[in-house]
Structure formats: structure tokens, C-alpha cells
């Protein structure tokens, strides 16, 4: 078993490599990496629910969407968020995401399993409907265009600067979520995931625990939305639609749920295939499909499960060999 | 096993990375014109995207891969029908491929998303399909390097409103897909129709992608003279079938996309006699169009749609602009200026560009007929031209200032005064 310290070390090395390598590459790769990192925050928020609490949310794009629309509306209609007040927008985005989750949670947390999935799906689509139809605010189907990125001494119009900003947000989010899931609160979430009834009998208010986790996930979703809106300067109902929620969920499953880092890796792989491979070959969809199918068939733990799978195979082989040795007449 | 795999995979990955890196750093040859093309090649609009690409490619092939003497590097990117992806792909074309211009975008939302990229990246963007009105109207000031070779959504439907008046229609029901394009098409028709004395007595907005019109058809007012429709994609196929199936025999006036050649070959005989308006019909009876339809059909085995023609003509437009610039890239600002000043003798007729960089062109009122055309043996559905309105600008007869003073057509404008 690889110890926790080694794992943390590997993640730190990986993050450091990312920070060094990406800015050296072409500016399109920088843009893609920035987008992937922003989306990875959303994927990690899904992982908090799916992997650590056992709630599969199909509506996470709703919080992502309100964060993104908040940024776009404030910037275009009120001129807020293009200077130092960008940080204000970040805080507002987080709070709005969390607030929306607090409202939706009242409906959703009562249910579990497939019913939870259906309710979050329906609530998410409500937000999509609002984005699509509330023309005077959201621009409807056409969405909202923002001009330029914020400049507060550091000019974010520069793609490299913006990459580092999103990177920093990503690292901080990862750290906070890691601390959260390792905390006693996180342990109780895992307990709920494993057996909710037992936790109730032990005296935990499981509803409240799930509710708080749901709100925290909403806050991170809002943050991801604020950053995402700035990557392309364009927000449309496409960002809130069901497929965005499903994408986030698939990325978590692909990378390995309940690992946080897996969510980020899954995001990276999907973005790499969908937005980079698609510029090279027309059959990128088959590759993406094959990756999903193979992962689900052979790696139910996701890509993060590969080391464990290899270890298992090795120990199996060893035990088979020792059995053979044992059965050989000496 | 794992070790040997790693050994072989390692160099392979390195190699492919290197290859990619080299591929990206294309030599900036002086004679090469790099054109990026953004169209949906996957998803529900994939076939439309193919028509767009084929149209442009046909012109390139007919001219030996050159435009205005410059060898063209034509790079196609898949926007997946999503505005967000369109922006990412356009940025890829600009940042990585260093294109001189990018073309395309299908949906109005893609057009709105792509135009700011041209301003931010100082690269020319030509909208060869996306018809969002405001790009060449109230928003044009923001996009100095943007121009349009296609149409605005309302452009063909102002004449259609006039034509409806001329037919003696007094009361019309409007049923249009519930999104920006539908608002602009229906708005253009309503404005012109009511200005010449007609009345739109009911406005119905089914969601984009509606396949079952059962709830809408019975609610239509019985005293109307005709029905105006704005259907997109599969909706276009379903609506006439279900309307006639329900026993409603009122004449249909279609917005351009309700009967364009993309949908027409898949329609049944129930659409014969339906009228629509657009800036192109595959049945325009000119030698130039006949040659285009035959060449396109031979190569791609289907009748060209306006998506194909618009992109074909876009290629022709660029061809003539580069020629005028002396066979070299004149720089983005100069290129826009040259493009704007040209008069093109295109497949769909004479086109020029107004001072808001939108084409002034002939609008065709077309009636679906089943007949033989251009020497093809089978009876097929064709959009026979029954009336032409030459030199129609995006402002119709209203004049630029007066037109721009009103808001862009939307769900509530023009208001439904006679409902």
C-alpha cells in the first residue's frame, strides 16, 4: 500500500509540473488547460457529493451556471468585476452558488438514490429554463458576451496570468476539499455513504450533514462558474444544460470517485480528448466513448484505481504461483 | 509486461508529441492564405455543417485550391453546435494555426459568440451562415473586423410580409420556434405585413426541437387566412405533415428555414404549394445556378442548400478580394474594406455589401412544386421562384436610421396588437 505521504507528494509534484510545463506550451494549450482547471473545480464539487457522501447529483451545472451568469451580467450590465472588484464577484459567485444549493437542498436532500438524481436533474433544468427564457437578463439562447478579462494590476487578458490565477484557485479548492474530507465532518460523510441508517442510530443528524455537504458543493460550483465565464468571455444556456452536469459526473467516474484528484484527472482527459483531439482527428468521439466504456467495464474505481488493480493482479499471480509450488510434489 | 509496455509507449508518446508540435508550427509562407472554418461536424447539426463545408470546398476544388492566386490552407474545426466550443475552436485557429480569417458558425448564438473573438484577436471573421440581426445592426460598432456574406434573419421576411399583403391575406397566424432566430424571422414578417395593412392575429411559440404539434394545432384561430411558420431542422419536416393531417388546409407561408433545400428532399407531397422566402433557392433558373447545382450534386450526391451556396459564394468573394489586393494578404483592416466594396456576380445573383457589412441581395419568394429540373429524370420537390425582390437590404424600405431606432425583434416586439 502506498502511504498517504507518498500520494500527497505525487500530487504536489504533478501540480508543480503543471505549473511549469503548461505556460511553456502554445497559447491554445494554455487556454485549454485553464478551462480544464476551472471545470475541474466543478468536477471536484461533484466528487464531494458522489464519492464522499454517496449522492449522485445531476444538477451541478445549475450552480456553475449561476456563477457564470452572475459574472457575465455584472460585467456587462453594471460594469462590476473588471478590476479589483473581480474578487468581490468571486465571493458573490461562491455565496450565490451556496445559497442556491441551500434552497435546492431543501427539496433534494430528502430523497436518496435514484430519486435524488431525478430531483437534482429537475432543479438543474429549472435553472437552464430560466437562462434560456429570461431574455432580458440572460440574453436567452444567444447568451452574453463579455469584453476582455479583469485587470487589477495583474492583467488577466494575458492568458498565462489568467492560467496562474485559475491554477491558484484550483490548488486552493483541492486543498480545502482535501482538508474537509479528512476532517471529522468528512468522516461522517463517508459514514453516511457507507450506511446511513447506522449513522442515524449512532446519533448523527445525517440530513444536516448531507445538507451542509450539498451547500459546500454548490459554493465550489459557483466558484467554477465565475472562472469559467472568464475563460471564453461567453456564457450561454449551454453551460447550464443537463449535458454539462452529466459531463462533470462522467469525469468524476472516469477519474475515480472519492479521490478528488481523480475528478481533476478525469476532467483533464475529457478536455484533452474533446477539445484537443477533436482538432486533430474527426473520430475523437469514438475514442471518448471507448474510454468511458472500458473504464466502466474494467476499472469501476476509475483511473485512480489502476495502481490497486495492478497490485491485485500481482498478488493474485503470486498466490497462484505459491499454490503451484505448494501443490508440486517435492 | 508493464515494463516492456512502458518502454514502447514512452518513445511513441514522445514521438507523437514532437510530431504534433511540428505540425502546429506551420511555416508562415508568404503566398499561403490560411482560412479557418468553424462548423458543427458532430451533434444534431452535423449534416448542416457538412453542407457548409462542402460548399466552400467545392469552390476551392474548382479553383485548384487557390483563392486570388494564393494557395489556401483550409482548416476545418468542429464547433459541435455549441457557442462555447465555437469560441474555443476559433481561438485554436487564431492562436495555433495563425489563420488570416475564420469563417462559419451556424447558429445565431455561435455568431454572437464568435464576433468578439475577431475583435479580441484582431482577426477577420466572416459569418457565412449565422444570421443574428444585431451583428450587422446595433452591435456592429463593437466588431470592426466582422463582416457577413449571408443574411440577417429578418431580411427575406420583410418582402414576404409585403408579398402576403399583395396576395390579399388579411389575418395571419404566426407559429415560430421559441428562440432568437425565430423571434427575428417572425418579427420581420409581422412588421412588414402589418405595415401594409395585414394583421397577425395569433403568435405561437413552440420550443426549439418540438416534434409533436398536437397541442398547438387545435389552438389556432379559425378565422385566419394563412399561417406563417418558422421551423428549424426536424420541426420543418413534422409541422406541415401534422397540420395537414389535422385537416387544416390554410395556405402556409414559411420562414426561410422551414422549406430550405436541406429539409425539402425529405418532405412529402403535402408541402406542394407552400410558399417561403429566402435569399437562395436551388431552383433559380439561371445558367450559373444550373451549373452550380449540377457540380454540387455530382460531387456530393445531394441538392445544394442555402448553407452550401452561401459558403460557395463566400469563397468566391474572398477570391475576388484577394485578386483585387494583388494576390497577397492585404492585412485585416484593408481586407474588410476591399470585401465591403466588391460587387459579386454570384450563383444567387448580384450581391453587394451595405455600409453595415451585410449583403444587399435578391430575395426569392418560392413555391414548392413537384417537377423535373436541370435535366434530372425524376420528379422532385423544388422551390420554384415565383417572385423576386431585387436589391433588398437588411433595412427593407424603412431606412437605416429609422430601422435601427427600434429594438431588435424579440418575443414581445413587434407586439401582438391584434391577438
Residue B44 lies in a domain: yes
Residues B368 and B257 in one domain: yes
Residues of A within 8 A of B119 (CB-CB) are 147
Check residue A280 and give its pLDDT.
84
Measured in angstroms, the CA of B95 and the nearest CA of chain A are apart by 6
Cell 430523497 sits on residue: A111
A35, A233, A238: residue with CB nearest B82: A238
| Stretch B338-356: mean pLDDT | 94
Angle at B87 between CA B81 and CA B93, to 5 degrees: 110
Distance CA A308, CA A7 (A): 13
Beta strand B349-353 with A151-152 is unpaired
What is the dotted CATH code of the domain comprising A4-267?
1.10.3470
Q: Per-residue pLDDT for B87 more than 60?
A: yes
Q: What is the pLDDT of residues A160-209, one digit of tens each?
A: 999 999 999 999 999 999 999 999 999 999 999 999 899 999 999 999 99
Measured in angstroms, the CA of B181 and the nearest CA of chain A are apart by 9
Angle at A210 between CA A204 and CA A213, to 5 degrees: 125
Name the residue of chain A whose CA is nearest to B142's CA.
A147
Residues B143 and B290 in one domain: yes
Residues B92 and B188 in one domain: no
Per-residue pLDDT band for B58 (boundaries 50, 70, 90) equals very high
Residues B257 and B374 in one domain: yes
Residues B161 and B306 in one domain: no
Measured in angstroms, the CA of A29 and the nearest CA of chain B are apart by 9
Residue B410 lies in a domain: no
Residue B245 lies in a domain: yes
**Could you tell me how many CB contacts below 8 A there are between chain A and chain B?**
81
Per-residue pLDDT band for A2 (boundaries 50, 70, 90) equals low
- The set of cell numbers assigned to A243 is 449535458
CB contact under 8 A, B84 and A234: yes
- The set of cell numbers assigned to B234 is 426536424
Q: Where are the alpha helices (DSSP H) in B122-258?
A: 157-166, 180-195, 234-245
Q: Where are the alpha helices (DSSP H) in A76-158?
A: 86-108, 113-133, 135-138
Residues B43 and B138 in one domain: yes
Check residue A27 and give its pLDDT.
85
B88, B112, B120: residue with CB nearest A142: B112
CB contact under 8 A, B95 and A27: yes
Check residue A211 and give its pLDDT.
95
More confident residue, B167 or B1: B167
Q: What is the pLDDT of residues B35-46, one digit of tens each?
A: 999 999 988 888
**Ramachandran quadrant class, A42 (left: phi over 0; alpha: psi -120 to 50; beta: rest):** alpha
Measured in angstroms, the CA of A197 and the nearest CA of chain B are apart by 43
Of A224, A310, A229, A226, which Cα lies nearest the Cα of A267?
A: A224
| Stretch A69-75: mean pLDDT | 94
- Give the H or E element holding residue B15: helix B2-24
Distance CA A142, CA B208 (A): 13
| Stretch A91-111: mean pLDDT | 94
Residues of A within 8 A of B84 (CB-CB) are 232, 234, 236, 238-239
**Ranked by mean pLDDT, which of A64-68, A195-199, B24-28, B230-234 comes out on top?**
A64-68
What are the E-state strand segments in B128-168? Answer: 146-148
Residues B385 and B264 in one domain: yes
Per-residue pLDDT band for B21 (boundaries 50, 70, 90) equals very low
Is B16 in CB contact (< 8 Å) with chain A? no
Per-residue pLDDT band for A155 (boundaries 50, 70, 90) equals confident
Interface of A with B (CB under 8 A): 26-28, 31-32, 35, 132, 135, 140-143, 145, 147-148, 232-234, 236, 238-239, 275, 278-280, 282, 285, 310
- Residues B155 and B127 sit within 8 Å (Cβ to Cβ): no
Is B2 in CB contact (< 8 Å) with chain A? yes
Q: How many CB atoms lie within 10 A of CB A207?
A: 14
CB contact under 8 A, A27 and B96: yes
The sheet that has B70-78: what strands, in order across it? B66-67, B70-78, B32-39, B101-104, B124-127, B146-148
Residue B192 lies in a domain: yes
For chain A, how big is the Rg over CA atoms in Å? 21
Residues of B within 8 A of A132 (CB-CB) are 179
Is B89 in CB contact (< 8 Å) with chain A? yes
- Residues A163 and A244 sit within 8 Å (Cβ to Cβ): no
DSSP string of B52-78, one letter each residue? HHHHHHHHHHHTTTEETTEEEEEEEEE
Is B208 in CB contact (< 8 Å) with chain A? yes
Residues of A within 8 A of B96 (CB-CB) are 26-28, 279
Residues of A within 8 A of B14 (CB-CB) are none
Q: What is the pLDDT of residues A3-60, one digit of tens each?
A: 788 888 989 999 999 888 888 888 889 999 999 999 999 999 999 999 999 898 999 9
Residues B255 and B115 in one domain: no
- Reduced to 3 states (helix: H, G, I; strand: E, B; else coil), residue A239 is helix
Measured in angstroms, the CA of A85 and the nearest CA of chain B are apart by 22
Q: What is the pLDDT of residues A264-307, one digit of tens each?
A: 999 999 998 888 888 888 888 888 889 888 888 888 888 888 88
Name the residue of chain B whose CA is nearest to A25's CA.
B21
- The set of cell numbers assigned to B404 is 435601427
Q: Per-residue pLDDT for A95 more than 90?
A: yes
Q: How many CB atoms lie within 10 A of CB B369?
A: 17
Is B77 in CB contact (< 8 Å) with chain A? yes
Residues B52 and B75 in one domain: yes
| Stretch A302-323: mean pLDDT | 84
Domain of B170 in residue numbering reads as 157-278+362-405
| Stretch B356-382: mean pLDDT | 94
Check residue A297 and give its pLDDT.
87
Is B114 in CB contact (< 8 Å) with chain A? no
Is B113 in CB contact (< 8 Å) with chain A? yes
Q: Is the pTM of this model over 0.95?
A: no
Per-residue pLDDT band for B17 (boundaries 50, 70, 90) equals very low
Q: What is the pLDDT of residues B258-288, one digit of tens each?
A: 999 988 989 999 999 999 999 999 999 999 9
B92, B112, B119: residue with CB nearest A279: B92
CB contact under 8 A, B109 and A141: yes
Q: Per-residue pLDDT for A330 more than 60?
A: no
Is B112 in CB contact (< 8 Å) with chain A? yes
Residues B235 and B106 in one domain: no
Residues B223 and B303 in one domain: no
Q: Per-residue pLDDT for B8 more than 50?
A: no
Q: What is the pLDDT of residues A213-231, one digit of tens each?
A: 999 999 999 999 999 999 9
Check residue B18 and give its pLDDT.
40
Q: Is the ipTM of this complex over 0.90?
A: no
A233, A279, A310: residue with CB nearest B116: A233
Percent of chain A with pLDDT over 70: 98
Residue B233 lies in a domain: yes
B2, B42, B87: residue with CB nearest A234: B87
Q: Where are the alpha helices (DSSP H) in A202-304?
A: 206-232, 242-255, 261-271, 284-298
Measured in angstroms, the CA of A289 and the nearest CA of chain B are apart by 14
Q: How many CB atoms lie within 10 A of CB A33?
A: 23
More confident residue, A157 or A165: A165
CB contact under 8 A, A141 and B179: yes
Cα A145 to Cα A71, A74, A170, B184, B346, distances in angstroms: 11, 12, 24, 19, 33
Measured in angstroms, the CA of B273 and the nearest CA of chain A are apart by 32
Residues B241 and B257 in one domain: yes
CB contact under 8 A, B411 and A135: yes
Report the CATH number at residue B292: 3.40.50.2300
Measured in angstroms, the CA of B128 and the nearest CA of chain A are apart by 18
Residue B194 lies in a domain: yes
Residue B8 lies in a domain: no
Q: What is the pLDDT of residues B94-116, one digit of tens each?
A: 999 999 999 999 988 899 999 99
Residues of B within 8 A of A280 (CB-CB) are 20
Q: What are the φ/ψ torsions at residue B345 (nearest 5 degrees)?
A: -95, 90
Mutate to test the interface with B, among A38, A236, A240 (most CBs of B within 10 A): A236
CB contact under 8 A, B84 and A232: yes
Measured in angstroms, the CA of B119 and the nearest CA of chain A are apart by 9
Residues of A within 8 A of B85 (CB-CB) are 275
Cα B264 to Cα A10, B257, B294, distances in angstroms: 59, 10, 17
Per-residue pLDDT band for B2 (boundaries 50, 70, 90) equals very low
- Domains contained in chain B, number: 2
**Considering chain B, what is the average pLDDT of its residues?**
89
Percent of chain B with pLDDT over 90: 80
Residues of A within 8 A of B91 (CB-CB) are 28, 31, 232
Q: What is the pLDDT of residues B375-401, one digit of tens each?
A: 899 999 999 999 999 999 999 999 999
Distance CA B400, CA B75 (A): 36
Amino acid at each position: 500500500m502506498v502511504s498517504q505521504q507518498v500520494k500527497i507528494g505525487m500530487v504536489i509534484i504533478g501540480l508543480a509540473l503543471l505549473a511549469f510545463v503548461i505556460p511553456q506550451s502554445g497559447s491554445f494549450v494554455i487556454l485549454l488547460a485553464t478551462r480544464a482547471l476551472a471545470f475541474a473545480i466543478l468536477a471536484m464539487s461533484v466528487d464531494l457529493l458522489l464519492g464522499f457522501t454517496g449522492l449522485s447529483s445531476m444538477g451541478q451545472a445549475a450552480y456553475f451556471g449561476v456563477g457564470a451568469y452572475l459574472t457575465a451580467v455584472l460585467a456587462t450590465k453594471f460594469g462590476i468585476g473588471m478590476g479589483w472588484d473581480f474578487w468581490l464577484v468571486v465571493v458573490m459567485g461562491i455565496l450565490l452558488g451556496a445559497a442556491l444549493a441551500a434552497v435546492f437542498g431543501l427539496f433534494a436532500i430528502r430523497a436518496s438514490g435514484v430519486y435524488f438524481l431525478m430531483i437534482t436533474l429537475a432543479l438543474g433544468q429549472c435553472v437552464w429554463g430560466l437562462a434560456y427564457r429570461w431574455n432580458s437578463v440572460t440574453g436567452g439562447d444567444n447568451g452574453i458576451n463579455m469584453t476582455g478579462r479583469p485587470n487589477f494590476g495583474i492583467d488577466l487578458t494575458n492568458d498565462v496570468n489568467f492560467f496562474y490565477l485559475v491554477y491558484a484557485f484550483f490548488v486552493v479548492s483541492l486543498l480545502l476539499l482535501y482538508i474537509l474530507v479528512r476532517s471529522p465532518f468528512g468522516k461522517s460523510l463517508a459514514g453516511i455513504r457507507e450506511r446511513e441508517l447506522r449513522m442515524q442510530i449512532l446519533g448523527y443528524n445525517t440530513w444536516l450533514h448531507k445538507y451542509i455537504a450539498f451547500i459546500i458543493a454548490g459554493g465550489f460550483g459557483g466558484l467554477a462558474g465565475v472562472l469559467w465565464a472568464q475563460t471564453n468571455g461567453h456564457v450561454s444556456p449551454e453551460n447550464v444544460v443537463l449535458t454539462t452536469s452529466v459531463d462533470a459526473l462522467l469525469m468524476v467516474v472516469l477519474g475515480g470517485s472519492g479521490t478528488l484528484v481523480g475528478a481533476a484527472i478525469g476532467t483533464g482527459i475529457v478536455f484533452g480528448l474533446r477539445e484537443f483531439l477533436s482538432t486533430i482527428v474527426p473520430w475523437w468521439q469514438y475514442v471518448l466513448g471507448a474510454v468511458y466504456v472500458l473504464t466502466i467495464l474494467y476499472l469501476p474505481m476509475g483511473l485512480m484505481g489502476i495502481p490497486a488493480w495492478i497490485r491485485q493482479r500481482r498478488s493474485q499471480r503470486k498466490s497462484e504461483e505459491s499454490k503451484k509450488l505448494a501443490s508440486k510434489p517435492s | 509486461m508493464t515494463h516492456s509496455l512502458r518502454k514502447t509507449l514512452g518513445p511513441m508518446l514522445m514521438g507523437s508529441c514532437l510530431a504534433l508540435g511540428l505540425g502546429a508550427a506551420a511555416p508562415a509562407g508568404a503566398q499561403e492564405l490560411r482560412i479557418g472554418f468553424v462548423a458543427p461536424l458532430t451533434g444534431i447539426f452535423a449534416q448542416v455543417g457538412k453542407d457548409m463545408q462542402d460548399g466552400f470546398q467545392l469552390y476551392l476544388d474548382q479553383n485548384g485550391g487557390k483563392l486570388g492566386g494564393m494557395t489556401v490552407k483550409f482548416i476545418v474545426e468542429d464547433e459541435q453546435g455549441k457557442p462555447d466550443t465555437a469560441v474555443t475552436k476559433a481561438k485554436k485557429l487564431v492562436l495555433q494555426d495563425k489563420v488570416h480569417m475564420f469563417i462559419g458558425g451556424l447558429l445565431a448564438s455561435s455568431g454572437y459568440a464568435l464576433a468578439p473573438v475577431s475583435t479580441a484577436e484582431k482577426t477577420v471573421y466572416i459569418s457565412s451562415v449565422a444570421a443574428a440581426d444585431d451583428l450587422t445592426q446595433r452591435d456592429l460598432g463593437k466588431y470592426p473586423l466582422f463582416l457577413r456574406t449571408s443574411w440577417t434573419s429578418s431580411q427575406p421576411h420583410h418582402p414576404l410580409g409585403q408579398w402576403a399583403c399583395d396576395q390579399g391575406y388579411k389575418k395571419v397566424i404566426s407559429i415560430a420556434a421559441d428562440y432568437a432566430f425565430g423571434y427575428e424571422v417572425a418579427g420581420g414578417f409581422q412588421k412588414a405585413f402589418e405595415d401594409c395593412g395585414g394583421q397577425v392575429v395569433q403568435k405561437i411559440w413552440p420550443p426549439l426541437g418540438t416534434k409533436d404539434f398536437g397541442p398547438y394545432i387545435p389552438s389556432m384561430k379559425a378565422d385566419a387566412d394563412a399561417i406563417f411558420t418558422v421551423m428549424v431542422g426536424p420541426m420543418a419536416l413534422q409541422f406541415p405533415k401534422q397540420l395537414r393531417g389535422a385537416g387544416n388546409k390554410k395556405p402556409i407561408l414559411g420562414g426561410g428555414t422551414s422549406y430550405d433545400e436541406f429539409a425539402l428532399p425529405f418532405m412529402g407531397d403535402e408541402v406542394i404549394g407552400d410558399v417561403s422566402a429566402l435569399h437562395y433557392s436551388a431552383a433559380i433558373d439561371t445558367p450559373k445556378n444550373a451549373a452550380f447545382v449540377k457540380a454540387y450534386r455530382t460531387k456530393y450526391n445531394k441538392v445544394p442548400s442555402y448553407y452550401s451556396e452561401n459558403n460557395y459564394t463566400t469563397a468566391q468573394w474572398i477570391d475576388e478580394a484577394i485578386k483585387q489586393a494583388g494576390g497577397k494578404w492585404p492585412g485585416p483592416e484593408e481586407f474588410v474594406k476591399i470585401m465591403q466594396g466588391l460587387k459579386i456576380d454570384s450563383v444567387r445573383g448580384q450581391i453587394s455589401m451595405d455600409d453595415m457589412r451585410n449583403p444587399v441581395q435578391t430575395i426569392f419568394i418560392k413555391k414548392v412544386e413537384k417537377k423535373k429540373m436541370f435535366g434530372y429524370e425524376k420528379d422532385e420537390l423544388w422551390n420554384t421562384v415565383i417572385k423576386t425582390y431585387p436589391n433588398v437590404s437588411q433595412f427593407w424600405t424603412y431606412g437605416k436610421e429609422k430601422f435601427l431606432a427600434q429594438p431588435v425583434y424579440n418575443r414581445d416586439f413587434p407586439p401582438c396588437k391584434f391577438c
